[in-house]
Structure 1
Amino acid sequence: MSGAPSATADEPVAGALQRQFAAAAERYGVPPGVLLGVSYLQSRWDGHAGAPSVTGGYGPMHLTDAVTALAEAPHHSEGGEDARGDEARGPRTAGPARGPSAAELPPRLRTLERAAELSGRSPEELRTGTAANIEGGAALLAAAQREAGLPASADPADWYGAVARYSGADDAATAAAYADDVFDVIRTGAARTTDGGQAVTLAAEPSLVPAKAQLRALGLRAPAKGPVECPRTVACEWIPAPYAEFGDGDYGNHDLGDRPSSQSIDYIVIHDTEASWDTTLKLVQDPTYVSWQYSLRSSDGHVAQHLALKDVGWHAGNWFVNAKSVGLEHEGFLTSPDSWYTEAMYRSSARLVRYLAGRYGIPLDRLHILGHDNVPGTVTSSIRGMHTDPGPYWDWAHYFRLLGRPITPSAGPDAGVVTIRPEYEGNRPVYTGCATAGAACAPHGSGAVRLHTAPSADAPLVKDIGLRPGGQDSTVDVNDTGARASTGQSFAVAERRGGWTAIWYLGQKAWFHDPREARTAVDARGTVLTPKEGLESVPVYGRAYPEASAYPAGVPVQAVSPLPYRLLAGQRYVVGGSTLGEYFFAPTFDPTGHTVVRGQERYYEIQFGHRVAFVKATDVRVSRA
């Protein structure tokens, strides 16, 4: 898709995009604020260079044409990790998910066809041209207003039902949550410069009160009722994952637990499904598959809960993390580099994460809000198979702004710790392997920076001996995390030189470009650790398991196996917190045999590389940076 026509080709001068919204609104009789508000919630007015979203939506209005997107984009699932990540039972791998056929696609993934009929614009124009795309979206809104028997009013308040219909949701709660978000944008206003360099403004209308009673006339279903654990600000339904036994001592697809009474919940793990919504729901309801707590739909931010939060899902590939985390799967069957997530899903996800963090006291930082690609392998043999979603194109900076924790400097210049924060749209490192091995991916904004062995873009990338035991250099492949630091991650500074900053990373000094006039990191406060005096190096672990003496009779001792890395004397790493060694023994379907083993050995979690790691407290000393 890197050869797709530019969706910004018809925006040659400043103000063009703003005028395109105004012209489309006038042509179809849609209030400009409504058209701008809907577009903001879909794409934040970005054109994404004509590339589809993770659910096949094109352009600022996110007109969906998943048939075309499916035909053009590859499907793959990197890694072969055991999603459960516990040697006490056989491996449970998820494997690649089958993408939907064209016949299986619901109407919400085919809105571009309808927009073409209504606007007279060709599908190609709607996919690649912003003016046509905006007209298509305006035509859909106008049609929804007509079909509801309502006039084309100039008052945005009269368009609540049409906006709810635009979401594509088939249940009333999700449609209402989507419309409420749109009207919240209209009330508060918005302004930004798009990915095409266009400045767009939506003036605030603080006194706007939409006609919410219109929702009842849409005839949408009520969501499936059940014991959902969601904030009121998201539309959430209960679609349970099965807890079923199916012979030879095997069962699925999760474990019953009693969290947080039995174990604390310390992490939230962000995933990308690499499957359509309908396929995702089928998979999580298969007892032979794997499981997670929540799925989020890209088109409208709808949430489905599958497991009670007290139970343990099989999602992260690391049993220690699984036992102490909540997994959120974000819909995305397209793993192309230039695919993108809707604002609706980012907002819904952020609200859910804020709720979970508040409920369990989880810090809103990148040592506790993890990507699946930040979860460490449990032992050396599992490192290479660990998954790499949501990858370098997830906008962590925007996500943390929505979480209410924007990534800003917390220390003065030349601090001992930095937090990675490149400017997302302008940061476009070259990646390869998105569609074909070795082929360059389409240019796209990224929240990651690349790490070199010296302060030069020509210097080799740092090595990851866990991914490449033979000592080969890391690569720029989109799934290679060996020389990558991601937005929000904090590292101890090793050196600064000539517009470059070095951090301690995987036991080595790693450099990234960080010029003062265009910083890609911010100075930060933090707690760091280093090996105790007299120790040349200390081992690093992928899980924090108890010492052997802590295990009661009948529970097999789990090996405390170090990873192949070493934390060397003089190096420092940012600390995320500490925990006593803990192991959740759950090898049987009957939960009466489950046991939580706790030891006396204390571990610190650290930002060691792209993935987090653990070190024993007895091996290190801790100080302020």
Structure 2
Amino acid sequence: MKALFRRSAALLAGSLIPLVCLVGRPASAAPPDPLADAFTRAAATYEVPRDLLVTLGYAETHLDGHDGAPSASGGYGVMHLVSSPAGRTLERAASLTGQPVAALKTDDAANVTGGAAVLRAYADELGLDATARKDPGKWYPAVAKYGNASTPEVARLYADTVYELLGTGIRTATPDGETLTVKARSVRPDLGAYARTRDLNEPLAAAAVDYPSARWVAASSSNYAVSNRPTSNVIDRIVVHVTQGSYAGTISWFQNPAAQVSSHYVVRSSDGAITQMVREKDRAWHAGNDNSRSVGIEHEGFVDNASWFTDSMYRSSAALTRSIADRYNIPKDRAHIIGHNQVPGATHTDPGPNWDWTRYMQYVGGSNGGGTNPHTPQSVCGSGYTVIDSATLGSAGTVYLLYNTANGNNCVTTIKLTSLGTATATSAYLEVQGKTRITDSGNFGYYAGPVRAAAPGKCVKWGGKAGASAYDSLFEHCGS
């Protein structure tokens, strides 16, 4: 599914550039910014707001053209011009600009021009006049269309991402070392017909997904196999992937019957948002012969660009992995939580050398091969308890909230990850709304707790501490 992008060798002429710059140019003159200039020219030529154009490109690729190699869904260049059964924006850009397809694939300036031309064509089709084109908010339906989304819901998700980035601003370095900036600005997008479309950023009821924090968007039934796991097949692996594309683009691709691939979950770079696309009981097509035994998690981004792998993404994905591991009794170690490149017979390289396994496994609450805590949240709280939430306490431990459907009790425990067997300050607490907080605090070798309480129809606060890190929830999980 993923093409490995290779960056060209360092420019041999790099050492000559300072000599050339001294000829015919004042010493104080700044060097040119090719990509910034390309955005400025393209925006002026096609009357597209410059900041909106840059932000759209950033949402697609972080302004990395990957030397003309395609994304997983067949998109090329900084502006992700697509040539696939799902869309033909690359060919349309060639028609609109007169640029050869080869140049649009490999030349950043040509690609930016092509993206601006396609976006303007969509604006024209939607009837935006000269006055409307000056307002970035009026371009929302055109931006939504640019994403080549498979459904209106995914198109809205795509456009929302662009406008959220426009609101927060961007400062990013390109692979060539150029810095591009979009100042944060308040823009009120005109959603038009998309105002009546379901917002995929809104979570569903917990019963609608296997992981309560996830959103649900179903993959095409042509891209996975219905099953009855873990009854039919044991689930004992979690496979980490990188999408080689954007969050919304990957969701759309998994909805396309032609893709013939899918994963159970997709995680967004900017904030760690999670979309579930295949139920865990079913076999997503993501890991070859390991499909029957594994749960697949895709992460937005590209293997050769570390800027996609944010702390929010690591923490959110780790919480998801921890939940899956707890529910299927999967050991939290690198023998059972693996990269796509570790699947037997794999031809893929993701998650690649930029993926920080050490940090990820610390957040998961597992190990990279060293000793592990022999105690689990279930073993501490007792039979019948299931993890419903958790929070990482730096690298020192994880605090868990569990629930027992048989007796209606909650339970909180803090499981240490460091200084195992050595008595260190550790605590866990549970507070039922309207009642006195119950705390277990002291110097413990492996865990604090269990702290149990019934909370029928009530909200609870919970948390704990290990090492220098603490977690305190708001009142939540009401009625658990």
TM-score by length of 1: 0.42
2:239 is paired with a residue whose SS is: strand
Q: What's 2:187 paired with?
A: 208
1:327 is paired with a residue whose SS is: strand
- Letter of the structure 2 residue corresponding to residue 29 of structure 1: E
Q: Is the 8 A contact 1:41 1:344 kept in 2?
A: no
Q: 1:129 to 1:318 in 2, by over 3 A?
A: closer
In structure 1, which of residues 186, 189, 197 is the aligned counterpart of residue 169 of structure 2? 189
1:118 is paired with a residue whose SS is: helix
Q: What's 2:128 paired with?
A: 150
User: Does residue 17 of the first structure (1) align with residue 35 of the second (2)?
Assistant: yes
* Deviation at residue 38 of structure 1 after TM alignment: 0.5
In structure 2, which of residues 341, 345, 351 is the aligned counterpart of residue 373 of structure 1? 341
Q: 1:304 to 1:361 in 2, by over 3 A?
A: closer
Q: Is the 8 A contact 1:191 1:201 kept in 2?
A: yes
Q: What's 1:269 paired with?
A: 239
In structure 1, which of residues 32, 37, 40 is the aligned counterpart of residue 50 of structure 2? 32
Q: Deviations over 1:68-104 (max 9, x none)?
A: xxxxxxxxxxxxxxxxxxxxxxxxxxxxxxxxxxxxx
- Matching of residues 384-463 of structure 1 within 5 Å: 385-387=344-346, 389-391=348-350, 393=352, 395-396=354-355, 419=358
* Deviation at residue 45 of structure 1 after TM alignment: 0.9
User: Does residue 293 of the first structure (1) align with residue 236 of the second (2)?
Assistant: no
- Matching of residues 201-600 of structure 1 within 5 Å: 201-205=181-185, 207-215=186-194, 227=208, 236-237=217-218, 239-240=220-221, 254-257=227-230, 268-271=238-241, 277=253, 281=257, 293-294=264-265, 305-306=277-278, 308-310=279-281, 326-328=295-297, 353=317, 356-357=320-321, 367=334, 370-374=338-342, 385-387=344-346, 389-391=348-350, 393=352, 395-396=354-355, 419=358, 573-575=369-371, 578=374
Paired with 1:316 and 1:578, the residues of 2 have a C-alpha distance of 30
Paired with 2:287 and 2:265, the residues of 1 have a C-alpha distance of 13
Identity %: 33
Q: Is the 8 A contact 1:4 1:51 kept in 2?
A: no
* Deviation at residue 315 of structure 1 after TM alignment: 6.2
Q: Deviations over 1:413-439 (max 9, x none)?
A: xxxxxx4xxxxxxxxxxxxxxxxxxxx
Q: Deviations over 1:225-244 (max 9, x none)?
A: 9955577886712545899x
* Deviation at residue 106 of structure 1 after TM alignment: 2.8
Q: Deviations over 1:426-456 (max 9, x none)?
A: xxxxxxxxxxxxxxxxxxxxxxxxxxxxxxx
1:255 is paired with a residue whose SS is: coil
Paired with 2:119 and 2:75, the residues of 1 have a C-alpha distance of 16
Q: 1:138 to 1:214 in 2, by over 3 A?
A: farther
Paired with 1:315 and 1:170, the residues of 2 have a C-alpha distance of 20
* Deviation at residue 54 of structure 1 after TM alignment: 2.7
Paired with 2:151 and 2:311, the residues of 1 have a C-alpha distance of 18
2:370 is paired with a residue whose SS is: strand
Paired with 2:277 and 2:210, the residues of 1 have a C-alpha distance of 8
Paired with 2:286 and 2:321, the residues of 1 have a C-alpha distance of 19
- Letter of the structure 1 residue corresponding to residue 240 of structure 2: I
Q: 1:273 to 1:63 in 2, by over 3 A?
A: closer
Q: Deviations over 1:158-199 (max 9, x none)?
A: 111111001001311100111111111111111121112211
2:218 is paired with a residue whose SS is: strand
Q: 1:193 to 1:296 in 2, by over 3 A?
A: closer
Paired with 1:271 and 1:340, the residues of 2 have a C-alpha distance of 13
User: Does residue 128 of the first structure (1) align with residue 97 of the second (2)?
Assistant: no
* Deviation at residue 371 of structure 1 after TM alignment: 1.3
Q: Is the 8 A contact 2:260 2:285 kept in 1?
A: no
Paired with 1:351 and 1:111, the residues of 2 have a C-alpha distance of 35
Q: Deviations over 1:254-275 (max 9, x none)?
A: 333479xx99x88642247999
User: Does residue 112 of the first structure (1) align with residue 65 of the second (2)?
Assistant: no
Q: Is the 8 A contact 1:177 1:233 kept in 2?
A: no
User: Does residue 51 of the first structure (1) align with residue 69 of the second (2)?
Assistant: yes
Q: Is the 8 A contact 1:230 1:236 kept in 2?
A: no
**Unpaired segments ≥5 residues, structure 2:** 18-30, 198-203, 245-249, 377-418, 423-480
* Deviation at residue 353 of structure 1 after TM alignment: 3.6
1:254 is paired with a residue whose SS is: coil
**Unpaired segments ≥5 residues, structure 1:** 67-104, 219-224, 244-251, 286-290, 333-337, 376-384, 398-406, 408-418, 420-486, 491-523, 530-572, 581-620
Paired with 2:315 and 2:420, the residues of 1 have a C-alpha distance of 34
Paired with 1:234 and 1:151, the residues of 2 have a C-alpha distance of 36
* Deviation at residue 29 of structure 1 after TM alignment: 0.8
TM-score by length of 2: 0.53
* Deviation at residue 134 of structure 1 after TM alignment: 0.5
More helix by share: 2
- Letter of the structure 2 residue corresponding to residue 202 of structure 1: V
1:125 is paired with a residue whose SS is: helix
Q: How many residues align?
A: 336
- Letter of the structure 2 residue corresponding to residue 198 of structure 1: E
* RMSD of Structure 2 on Structure 1 (CA): 5.6
Q: Is the 8 A contact 2:223 2:257 kept in 1?
A: no
1:187 is paired with a residue whose SS is: helix
Q: What's 1:536 paired with?
A: none
Q: 1:577 to 1:122 in 2, by over 3 A?
A: farther
Paired with 2:7 and 2:105, the residues of 1 have a C-alpha distance of 10
* Deviation at residue 3 of structure 1 after TM alignment: 11
Paired with 2:90 and 2:158, the residues of 1 have a C-alpha distance of 19
- Letter of the structure 2 residue corresponding to residue 574 of structure 1: G
